[in-house]
Amino acid sequence: MAVDGTFDILAVTNFGLEAVASRELAGLGYDAKGAGTGRVLFRGDARAVARANMWLRSADRVLIRVATFAAADFDALFEQTKSIAWEEWIPRDFAFPVNGRSVRSTLTSVPACQRTVKKAIVERLMRAHGTRTLPESGPPVTIEVSILHDVATITLDTSGAGLHKRGYRPIVGEAALKETLAAGLVLLSVWRPDRPLIDPFCGTGTIAIEAAMIGRNIAPGLSRAFEGEAWPSLGEAAWREAREEAKAATRGELAFAIHASDLDERALAIARKSAALAGVERDIHFARRDFAELSSKAEYGCIITNPPYGVRLGDEAEIERLYRSMPLVLRRLPTWSMHIFTARLDLEEIFGQKATRRRKFYNSKIECWYFTFLGPKRPGAKREDEDGVGTGGTPVPPALTPEVSESEPPGDAFTDETGASEGDDDSRASAPDLRRLRSGVDDSRASSTPTRAFGGLRERDEREARDFGACLAKNLKHLRRYPSRGITCYRVYERDVVDVPLIIDLYEGRAHVAEYEREHSRSAAQQADWWDLMRATIAREAGIPLDMVFTKEKHRQKGLTQHEKQGDAARTFVVQEGGLKFEINLSDYIDTGLFLDHRLTRAMVRDEARGKRVLNLFCYTASFSVYAAAGGAASTTSVDLSNTYLEWAQRNLALNGFWPGPHRLVRSDVREFLASHAPGPHYDLAIIDPPTFSNSKATREDWEVAAQHAEVLELTSRLLSPGGVVYFSTNYRRFKLDEARVAAAGFTVREISRRTVPPEYRNTRIHRCWKLIKAPLPSEPTLKS
């Protein structure tokens, strides 16, 4: 202790929060500087110790540094420790436990270092107090010896229990965020007490409670005790004054209630109880709510949240879906700024956009990053001069000193993606920057152009929408006579505008829209806004309600992939084609249940079906079978491996009065059905429209049309009557018919694609179709197109 009663004081913090603690100390009136990772050094007296314990929100402990010296061996450690005036700190009956750690030093045995220090202190105290016994029955003075690169630092812990223990936490929830870290996240945000705040993954409410305490200027240490309060060396007056100061500085309720939500009712119960114990229950509205329901009419608010990582909690696939949904939900708040603390290091990749700023932390031992996505600056916002002077001229910490402005983050010295550390002298902010940090706002790099954290349309997007709208209107005008001709389901747009790669089909006042996968420069949220613009344009030009525009993203099949079910909304409708009724599903699948490109092919089948025994392989929803039945087929046999599609097929047959009847639905792999079927002339007309690729747990091998179509045609030939017809079709772009094997199976071959693709299709190769006729005797194929 110096003659003036001051000493070196260390605030211990979580990695990454050193500069936050420095700013807090500056608000208290102390000049602080980094002293290594997780340590901030300042100088003060007993009152400074008490006030630091009372007010620091981001620090874990407040230590007094009593000595620093070289300690390459145990003799040096012993003698230097013994030379410290321990009697000034430790009364005769006080306990003095010794903790220790050693990093990159000669003295590697921490227990041996602890024993050496303890022995040196005992000898010093016994001589100084004139006693041969030290009962250690009184309050503790916890000592730590920390050796780094053979330099020992001896400190006294004035806090006792960690400063994260505010006194309001009755139960620690699963994967709960540490209070000091939560406070640091709030202080690193752009939130202020006069702005709305939401935590949509609040858990046990730590972020919301810490924010409320910051907003109301409630000292975090006001409801707890500290180890140093019992030390005569610090005196009782300093602690009493610190408490009186903290009580006087507390402010009234917040301008906006903080909203905190979660799905876990047990966690919310803990949160409500904790908020009450912290005295902020009237400042926070807790609710059980799904993140997908997030919305707010307020503007220029902040999201500060710690969503589940998938490291400790939750199913990985479910977590992945949650993170991919985040920008789509957060775009609903166009004027808000977002701060997301997570162990998902791939968050920017998932969101499809870079964060405004990111900082590295450790939550326990889990590496985490704090991602900031700044929204537009509030109109009329200006730098706030938070001088830290409270009522009666008593210096108190500012209620909130955010680290970044609402336009751009300052060039501070926090550890971030650049690797710069706040503890390095050469990385500290310049004087002007430091002033901006202390005021809480840096508008030196503010942009005059408002930006959204997530989403928003570019001028290019709006231009594309205008071009697209004009093109769609032209197409609709060209096809306006279709309904009067009995064609009510048809294609109206197919990538006509290069930058709008949509496929649009109309189904009697409803639009089914698929976007083909392509590279673009929009983020996930911007893409969602682009989709909204396209949907609105389609609804306007087609003259249909917005909720009758159904949109999907159609990814090109790559390798062993296939289109999966996309939802469970079950938006089903009954439409007509060729005087027949069909059920379509516009919400749940890439395909609707009725392939419009085969409208003409189905008509051909109806015209040819009278009296025929019809086989429909890969039948899907059996629209070909319905047409065949309408054409007077003697019977139909529809084969598919999917129960879902066969049930759909039955509904289509029933809609048209053909079920029950001479129509059979068979659940089977097509190749197994054909191979196990008794040979002979069982069928006169067959339709084969297989998928490009398909896999199923129910089959031994996957289906690929390019490799296996010839086998299916050979097996089908065994079951056809002489002169029997097969309509074979595929939409595989690189398909090549195995003409030699098809001819050897007894078929004459004729490609009829030009007759089967409807005239409104811009892509005349939407499918290829062949008419195969089985001759009584094998013959060379004739190829026509």
Residue 418 has pLDDT above 70, yes or no: no
Taking the CB of residue 137, how many other CB atoms lie within 10 A of it? 9
Residue 102 has pLDDT above 80, yes or no: yes
Residue 414 has pLDDT above 70, yes or no: no
Tell me the pLDDT band of 782, cut-offs 50, 70 and 90.
Answer: very low
Residue 71 has pLDDT above 90, yes or no: yes
Residue 442 has pLDDT above 90, yes or no: no
What are the CA-CA distances from residue 709 to residues 336, 507, 560, 713 (Å)? 56, 32, 17, 6
Strand partners, 773: 725, 748
Lowest mean pLDDT among 325-329, 419-423, 679-683, 726-730: 419-423
User: What is the tens place of the pLDDT at every residue in 511-563?
Assistant: 999 988 777 889 999 999 999 999 999 999 999 999 999 998 765 444 333 44
Residue 403 has pLDDT above 50, yes or no: no
Asked if residue 760 lies in contact with residue 492, where contact means CB atoms within 8 angstroms, the answer is yes
Does an H or E element contain 751, and which?
strand 747-751
Asked if residue 25 lies in contact with residue 11, where contact means CB atoms within 8 angstroms, the answer is yes
Residue 203 has pLDDT above 90, yes or no: yes
What percentage of the chain reaches a pLDDT higher than 90? 78
User: What is the tens place of the pLDDT at every residue in 629-675?
Assistant: 999 999 999 999 999 999 999 999 999 999 999 999 999 999 999 99
User: What is the tens place of the pLDDT at every residue in 32-62?
Assistant: 999 889 999 999 999 999 999 999 999 999 9
Asked if residue 148 lies in contact with residue 107, where contact means CB atoms within 8 angstroms, the answer is no
Strand partners, 59: 13
Q: What is the pLDDT of residue 214?
A: 98
Strand partners, 573: 584
Indicate the angle between helix axes 46-55 and 18-28, nearest 10 degrees.
120
Residue 687 has pLDDT above 60, yes or no: yes
Distance CA 333, CA 336 (A): 6
Q: Which residues contact 193 (CB under 8 A, 6 or more apart)?
A: 214, 215, 216, 254, 255, 399, 400
Cα 7 from chain centroid (whole Å): 47
Distance CA 395, CA 29 (A): 8
Nearest Cα to Cα of residue 596 among 608, 586, 587: 586
Indicate the angle between helix axes 459-478 and 524-542, nearest 10 degrees.
30
Q: What is the pLDDT of residue 567?
A: 63
For residues 508-518, one letter each, b for 16 or more C-beta atoms within 10 angstroms of the residue's C-beta and e for the rest, the string is: eebbbbbbeee
Averaged pLDDT, 1-22? 88
Structure tokens, 707: 């490799």
Please state whether 775 falls in left (phi above 0), alpha (psi between -120 and 50) or beta.
beta
Tell me the pLDDT band of 397, cut-offs 50, 70 and 90.
Answer: low
Distance CA 30, CA 395 (A): 11
Q: What is the pLDDT of residue 1?
A: 58
Tell me the pLDDT band of 565, cut-offs 50, 70 and 90.
Answer: low
